[in-house]
Amino acid sequence: MSAANGSGANGNGANGSGVNGSGPHGGRESGVPARQGDRGEVIDVRRGMFGARNGGDTSGYGGLVRTVRMPGASARPYGGWFDEVADELEGALEEQGIVPENAIERTVVDRGELTFHIVREHLPVVARTLRDDPALRFELCTGVSGVHYPQDKGRELHAVYHLRSITHNRLIRLEVSAPDADPHVPSIVDVYPTNDWHERETYDFFGLVFDGHPALTRIIMPDDWQGFPQRKDYPLGGIPVEYKGAQIPAPDQRRSYS
Amino acid sequence: MSTSTHAPAGVRETTEGTVYDVTGGDWDELAAHAAKSDDERIIVNMGPQHPSTHGVLRLILEIDGETVTEARAGIGYLHTGIEKNLEFRTWTQGTTFVTRMDYLTPFFNEAAYCLGVERLLGIEDQVPERANVIRVLLMELNRISSHLVAIATGGMELGATTVMIFGFRDRELVLDLYELITGLRMNHAFIRPGGLAQDIPPGAVDALREFIKKMRKNLPEYDALCTGSPVFKARLKDIGYLDLAGCMALGATGPILRSAGLPHDLRKAQPYCGYETYDFEVPTVDTCDSYGRFLLRLEEMRQSLRIIEQCVDRLEPGPVMVADKKIAWPAQLALGPDGLGNSLDHIKNIMGTSMEALIHHFKLVTEGFRVPPGEAYTAVESPKGELGVHVVSDGGTRPYRVHFRDPSFTNLQSMAAMCEGGQVADVIVAVASIDPVMGGVDR
């Protein structure tokens, strides 16, 4: 029990420091070997376990620190047709007078999927290029999916697009981020009209405003709804339920593993 | 609660307080326009409670006599917050939620979700062969039952009640098989990350062979009833017209896209669960209309029967769950007097003889397994089109975000393009040919 309230000492050890030093504890404890998975984009640092915040920590779990890292940028070659698509896209952007590095923040290859992180101002141009260039020809956009990373400061809201090329039988992902303080992303409805409802849905659930959308209104929730339900700071709701004599808390009040 | 303030369109401040415009957006313009024009043009709300709207779909039609001049769909009446709820359950519990999205295609929802989780876990190649065969088998059975509902309800909306009776009669055969295999007629949660909840029971193979025989006999009845019927053709031909350019622009997939002549089918283009090893064809027509979609659904059911037959032939004994005990549910399920539950042998083992097994069981059931951080997009060809799942993990025991790209949602957008300029009665035919299921649209 002596380690019960040892704040962070165990955590740093267990966490290690990244070889690229991108973690919040980077630079300290250089003697600890880098663990696999220490590379990547840090989106959050979680402390403790079970979500317990108040009361004395008698378990020692309160000292746990877990850094959440999403897969980071990949280096060339990406493999397979990924390089071809990346080359074509960069070439086509250069032809239009756009420096590819300014439009494409980074390229991630993970689990056999190719993701381009696009700077939001350039999204419509990139989407149009991907659709119209014969060598790219991503005709089908499967809509947009929002993701909320409240701890990733300045990049809280993500809009994720999956584009399918029926001609070349390929699938890529575009990811755009916007800060919570300025939740604006350009609409690509004029490139992919199918995104009309999808962008309304993402607006409805995340509050992401798609500039240029013809009629950005709520689509699933009632028009007078307050708040954006899929955001992480929006509670799930629910009431405690009695089951066999015990009170079972609402799902978002139950113990969870951080 | 969010602090961002983006007021929805159509907000007015009055002395009584804030008044929200229930329709909002471009509707104000439309309503103002209609108010100015002559009395012949009216706006009609069809639904949300209307027998031909497949659940709670609200169609807002501006009509001029019998002609629809503008059409819009109002959705959201069946929103249940499944995607939000998933973020508060373990990865395994997720199947119980997703199976309820499009309730007519439960196995496709489960399979697409589980393929996503498996890709995140990196165990796609470890799923046993038998589990894949049973997944394909269940999905193809599901394709038949979904198409049967599409044809049956579509027929009923035309007044062809015999088609409805036949369709539901045959769907019952499929539901009996579901009940035999999974224990439930719907909401199965049978496909799990890593494999299946359990193996198929004894007697299922015989029942499947019997079913194939029966369906081979029953399917021609739809041809005899509908395909050549002058009344049926008169109602369906050239109705709900959407050509290839329209399909591509609106992202329509499935029978709608194939009725425009493009043989795009994810089972062939991006095979999953071993579809590349099955012998079947992707039918297309180039009529772009409701009649073509009806013919396609009939043909797809015949092709599904072919696949089911091949599945039954290649069922070899073996495991139906990955070998990794950190992922596979430890308890073999067994049928007890009070229904399906943990097998008594397993309970006896963990409670009486092995404390480690008890700890392992407890950890896996209450905590679940951790999934490495990252995101994945997996898609399956559901009876309605591309059913895509975007899953995001933050390395925890629960999904960080799951988004379903439900084909009904996307396809329903094409309703306006199909209906404007047509007659009110044809709206029903066009919507029936889209085959939207509001459980999937609203989730």
Identify the CATH number of the domain in which residue B403 sits.
1.10.645.10
| Interfacial B residues in 67-86 facing A (CB < 8 Å) | 75-76, 79, 81, 83-85
Question: A77, exposed or middle or buried, with CB in 10 Å at 0-12, 13-18, 19+?
Answer: exposed
Structure confidence at residue B21 (pLDDT): 62
* C-alpha to C-alpha distance for B14 and B31, rounded to whole angstroms: 20
Please confirm whether the linkage preceding B51 is cis (ω < 30° from 0): no
> Residue range A222-244: average pLDDT?
89
- State the distance between the two ends of chain A, measured CA to CA, in whole angstroms: 22
Per-residue pLDDT, B157: 85
* Residues B57 and B90 occupy one common structural domain: no
Residues B165 and B39 occupy one common structural domain: no
DSSP lists the bridge partners of residue B68 as B63
Last residue of a domain, one of B72, B88, B108: B72
Percent of chain B with pLDDT over 90: 49
Say if the Cβ atoms of A140 and B270 lie within 8 Å.
Answer: no
Q: CA–CA separation, B382 vs B172, rounded Å?
A: 20
Strand-pair partners of B380? B387
Asked if B247 and B267 sit in the same domain, the reply is yes
pLDDT, position A178: 93
Confidence of residue B330 (pLDDT cuts 50, 70, 90): low
pLDDT digits (tens, 9 = 90+) for A32-50: 544 445 578 888 888 777 7
In this structure, the number of other CB atoms found within 10 A of the CB of residue B124 comes to 16
For A170, what's the count of Cα atoms within 13 Å in the CB-facing half-sphere?
21
Q: Is A207 left (phi over 0), alpha (psi -120 to 50) or beta?
A: left
What's residue A15's pLDDT? 37
How far does A250 lie from chain B, in Å, by closest CA?
Answer: 10
CB interface of B with A, residues 169-228, below 8 Å: none
Test mutation, B13, B30, B90, B401, chain A, max A CBs within 10 A:
B401
Residue B394: which of A44, A143, A218 has the nearest Cβ?
A44
CA angle B239, B243, B246 (to 5 degrees): 115
Given a contact cutoff of 8 angstroms between Cβ atoms, the answer to whether A190 and A125 are in contact is no
Tell whether A110 lies on the interface with B, counting CB pairs under 8 A: yes
The per-residue pLDDT for B53 is 66
| Contact present, A14 and A25 (Cβ < 8 Å) | no
B293 touches chain A (CB under 8 A): no
Q: With CA atoms as reference, report the closest residue to A204 among A178, A229, A235, A237.
A: A229
Query: Average pLDDT in the B271-289 region?
Result: 92
What values do phi and psi take at B161, rounded to 5? -70, -25
Residues of chain B with C-beta less than 8 angstroms from the C-beta of A183? 4, 6
List Cβ neighbours of B206 (8 Å cut-off, separation of 6 or more): none
Residue B154: inside a domain: yes
pLDDT at B292 over 60: yes
- Name the residue facing A68 among B264, B394, B410 (closest C-beta): B394
**A235 contact residues in B (CB cutoff 8 A):** 1
User: Which of A107-111, B1-5, B285-289, B371-375 is least confident?
Assistant: B1-5
Total number of domains constituting chain B: 2
Do residues B107 and B188 touch, judged by C-beta distance below 8 A?
A: yes
Q: What percent of chain B is predicted at pLDDT more than 70?
A: 92
What pTM did the predictor assign?
A: 0.85
B161 shares a domain with B24 = no
* pLDDT reading at B182 higher than 80: yes
Min mean pLDDT across A159-173, A241-255, B40-54, B143-157 is at B40-54
The band of A29, judged by pLDDT with boundaries at 50, 70 and 90, is: very low
Of B19, B51, B72, the last residue of a domain is B72
By Cβ distance, the residue of B2, B373, B376 closest to A68 is B373
Residue B438 to residue B117: CA distance in whole angstroms: 25
Q: For B110, how many CA atoms within 13 A lie in the half-sphere containing its CB? A: 30
Measured between CB atoms, which of B1, B23, B374 is closest to A227? Answer: B1
For residues B46 and B152, state if they share a domain.
Answer: no
Q: What is the mean pLDDT of residues B366-376?
A: 90
In whole angstroms, what is the distance from residue B320 CA to residue B135 CA?
10
Instruction: Considering only residues A130 and A18, tell me which one the structure prediction assigns the higher pLDDT.
Output: A130
CB atoms within 10 A of CB A150: 13
In terms of pLDDT, which residue wins out, A56 or A203? Answer: A203
Sign of CA dihedral A257, B1, B5, B6: positive
Q: Minimal Cα–Cα distance from A85 to chain B, Å? A: 18
Q: Do B8 and A217 touch (CB under 8 A)?
A: yes
Q: CB of B35 within 8 Å of any CB in chain A? A: no
Do the Cβ atoms of A192 and B253 come within 8 Å?
Answer: no
Task: For residues B180 and B109, state if they share a domain.
Answer: yes
CB contact under 8 A, B75 and A226: no
A217 contacts B405? CB cut-off 8 A: no
For position A18, what pLDDT does the model report? 35
Indicate whether B333 belongs to any domain: no
> What is the residue whose two structure tokens read 């373990």?
B90
Lookup result for tokens 């190719």: A114
Would B356 be classed as within a structural domain?
no
User: How many residue pairs bridge chain A and chain B with CB atoms within 8 Å of each other?
Assistant: 171
CB A93 within 8 A of CB A126: yes
Six token digits for residue B282: 């992707």
Average pLDDT in chain B: 87
Q: Which domain holds residue B186?
A: 80-326+368-440
Rounded Cα distance between A57 and A5, Å, is 6
A190 touches B at CB < 8 Å: no
Q: Is B262 helix (H, G, I), strand (E, B) or coil?
A: coil
Residues B384 and B261 in one domain: yes
For residue A67, the model assigns a pLDDT of: 86
For residue B332, is it within any domain?
no
Tell me which of A50, A131, A195, A197 to substitute to probe the interface with B (most B C-beta atoms closer than 10 Å).
A197
> Measured between CB atoms, which of A113, A147, A169 is closest to B376?
A113
Q: Is B8 a residue whose pLDDT tops 50?
A: no
CA distance A91 to chain B (A): 25
Structure-model confidence comparison of residues B201 and B402, the more confident one: B402
B 344-383 residues with CB < 8 A to A: 367, 372-377, 379
Look at residue A123 in the predicted model and tell me its pLDDT: 92
Mean pLDDT of the A103-110 span: 89
Q: Look over chain A and give the mean of its residue pLDDT values, rounded to a whole number.
A: 81
Q: Are strands B374-382 and A241-243 parallel, antiparallel or unpaired?
A: unpaired
DSSP secondary structure of A37-88: T--SEEEEEEESSTT--SS---SSGGG-EEEEEE--PPPSP--TTHHHHHHH
**Is residue B210's pLDDT more than 50?**
yes
Residue A73: predicted pLDDT: 84
Task: Note whether A68 contacts B: Cβ–Cβ < 8 A.
Answer: yes
Last residue of a domain, one of B72, B97, B126: B72
* φ, ψ (nearest 5 deg) of residue B69: -95, -30
Count CB neighbours of B119 within 10 A: 21
Residue B365 pLDDT:
85
Chain B: nearest CA to A50, how far in angstroms?
10
Task: Indicate whether B228 and B312 sit together in one domain.
Answer: yes
Do residues B20 and B108 share a domain? no
Chain B segment 233-252 residues within 8 A of A by beta carbon are: 248-252
B48 with B184, same domain: the answer is no
Question: Strand locations in B65-142, DSSP E?
Answer: 67-74
> pLDDT tens digit string along B130-179?
999 999 999 999 999 999 999 998 888 888 889 999 999 999 999 999 99
| A 3-62 residues with CB < 8 A to B | 37, 40, 43-44
| Chain A contact set for B401 (CB, 8 A) | 145, 147-148, 230
Report pLDDT digits (tens) over B161-172: 899 999 999 999
Q: What is the average pLDDT across B272-295? A: 92
Q: Identify whether residues B281 and B205 lie together within a single domain.
A: yes
* Amino acid sitting at position B325: K
Residue B361 in any domain: the answer is no
Give the Cα separation of B185 and B200 in Å (integer): 15
Closest CB to A147: pick one of B9, B120, B392: B392
Q: What is the structure's pLDDT at B51?
A: 67
Do β-strands B67-74 and B58-64 pair in parallel, antiparallel, or remain unpaired?
antiparallel
Residue B419: inside a domain: yes
Asked if the structure places residue B138 within a domain, the reply is: yes
Which pLDDT does position A20 carry in this prediction? 39
Same domain, B173 and B244: yes
The answer to whether the CB of B218 falls within 8 A of the CB of B170 is yes
In a domain, B343, yes or no: no
Q: Is the pLDDT of residue B224 over 90?
A: no
Binned at pLDDT 50, 70 and 90, residue A23 comes out as very low
CB B235 within 8 A of CB B261: no
3-state helix, strand, coil in chain B (%, to 5): 50, 15, 35
Between these two residues, B35 and A82, which has the higher pLDDT value?
A: A82
